[in-house]
Amino acid sequence: MNTIATRFRGFLPVVVDLETGGFDAQKHALLELAAVIVDMDESGKLYKKHT
């Protein structure tokens, strides 16, 4: 059985994207944060479930 729970050992897979104003956390701001929860179809392909 190929389910999302077995594929990721019971963890909830979340893709996170961060956009910053530079590389130095002391000087540059966090500009944008995005997170997407993924799920898996019957064939094992991942797709966007929630944003």
The pLDDT tens digits for 38-50 are 999 989 899 999 8
What are the backbone dihedrals phi and psi of residue 46, each rounded to the nearest 5 degrees, phi first?
-85, 145
Q: What is the pLDDT of residues 22-38, one digit of tens each?
A: 999 899 999 999 999 99
> SS3 for 51?
coil
pTM of the model: 0.66
Ordered by start, the domain boundaries in the chain are 4-50
Helices then strands (H, E): number in the chain? 1, 3
Q: How far is CA 9 from CA 12, 13, 33, in A?
A: 9, 10, 26
Which residues have a Cβ under 8 Å from the Cβ of 16 and sit 6 or more positions away? Answer: 33, 34, 35
For residues 3 and 13, is the Cβ–Cβ distance under 8 A? no
